[in-house]
Structure 1
Amino acid sequence: MASIVSFEDLAGAVRGLPPSCGPVRVVAVDGPGGSGKTTFAGRLARALGAQVIHSDDFPVPWDEPPVTWFRQVEEQVLGPLAAGRPGGYRRYEWAAGTFTDWVDVPVAPVLLLEGVSTARRTAPAAFTVWVEAPAELRLARALARDGASYAPQWREWMRAEEEWFAADGTRSRADLLLDGAAIPGEFVRIQPS
């Protein structure tokens, strides 16, 4: 029987984990684009009273594998946190193609990283979540958000994601597997096979 994830129970479990990045417990919410990662991370962050850093806050090139953007997170956020110091970054505005406001990232008990490739092997994550949904649904969600004119970029991006996840083994290492295709805002735990 499938079970709906309780955000309060998950928040309690995360709080009980040892820190993974200096004094901070990093929770990485990963999975392919359009699977429901942002919605899940937002709900978990509210339950934890934690900050979320989204991959969409950084310039992630369409024509590169979903890996290069993470260097900025490592240098500007994770490196300082690992040393017990606050981090921060300048948020990227996709529509304008420019960097905008400064985001402070204080040393806190928990920080969520949300986006494609956040649970990579090298991430200092105390807990990793994999959110998935069927490709057709993910593409429909992405195009509803970004516009139909982005269909060619999204199809290429989805191919690059598949290659990245296969090479990194992201799903197989996740602490929690979730189906993001359920009723909006609900996440069903996938039982390991």
Structure 2
Amino acid sequence: MIGSVRRREVIGHIARRIPASDGGTCPRVAVDGPDGSGKSTFADELAAAVRSLGRTVVRVSLDDFHNPREVRYRLGRESPEGFWRDSFDYPRFRADVLEPFAPGGSRRYRPAAHDLATDAMLDPRPRTSPAGTVLIVDGLFLHRDEIVEAWDLSVFLDVPFGVTAKRMALRDGTNPDPEHPGMRRYVEAQRHYFRACSPQRRAGILIDNQDFGAPQIIRG
């Protein structure tokens, strides 16, 4: 249930911006933003709003396509460069999710490739979605060069590190100061992403999500 009137308005606006499923195509939608920006919640609420419009939705999270630990930490557990370069298995994500929902794709997808808690690689039974399904993906770095062209609509949740660090502290028990050495891996990787890919400019819709109850559309 989407809480405030303002939040419902913003979510509803984005839901209506998703392209029509002409000819049974499957629009692919990204919800990007730094750690702690509220991506998963936002994407879940967007999915509910799209379903309320009578459209079928598949929800996938890039968090289910991590690389195994031996790859993620090969540059060291505290390395921002490693977090940026090695966190996610983009080839598997493309093959299992993006390509099946591409124009002319099979719509036969796998929703996960890795269990972060156990570090086990997964090979779930494929699922087949109906023609015209809307794919909504949340995750970090979704405007990277490798996958930026895949999206029919993309959202970036713009939240300062001072706010996201406090949210992460409540959620994960990390330090609430974004400049603390324990936060360097995450914050510096995001800063690298911003410099390399300018996701705030690449996104079709830019949202100020500092206030969960009253997000503001900056562009789009």
* Runs of 4+ that moved beyond 6 A: none
Counterpart residue number, 2:83: 64
Per-residue CA distance 1:121-177 (angstroms, 9 max, x = gap): 433111110102121221121232222389755421220111022211211121111
After superposition, the CA RMSD in angstroms is: 3.0
State the TM-score, normalized to the length of structure 2. Answer: 0.71
Q: Work out which of the residue numbers 183, 187, 190 in structure 2 matches 1:158.
A: 187
In structure 2, what residue type is equivalent to 1:52? R
Q: Work out which of the residue numbers 184, 195, 198 in structure 2 matches 1:169.
A: 198
State the TM-score, normalized to the length of structure 1. Answer: 0.80
Unaligned runs of 5+ in 2: 1-5, 52-56
Aligned residues: 187
Counterpart residue number, 2:162: 136
Shift of 1:181: 1.2
Counterpart residue number, 2:41: 39
Distance in 1, matches of 2:58 and 2:85, equals 22
Equivalent residue runs for 1:37-186 within 5 Å: 37-49=39-51, 50-59=57-66, 61=72, 63-65=82-84, 68-82=88-102, 83-85=104-106, 86-99=108-121, 102=124, 104=127, 106-107=129-130, 108-121=132-145, 122-123=147-148, 124-148=150-174, 154-182=183-211, 184-186=212-214
Percent identity (aligned): 26
SS at match of 1:189: strand
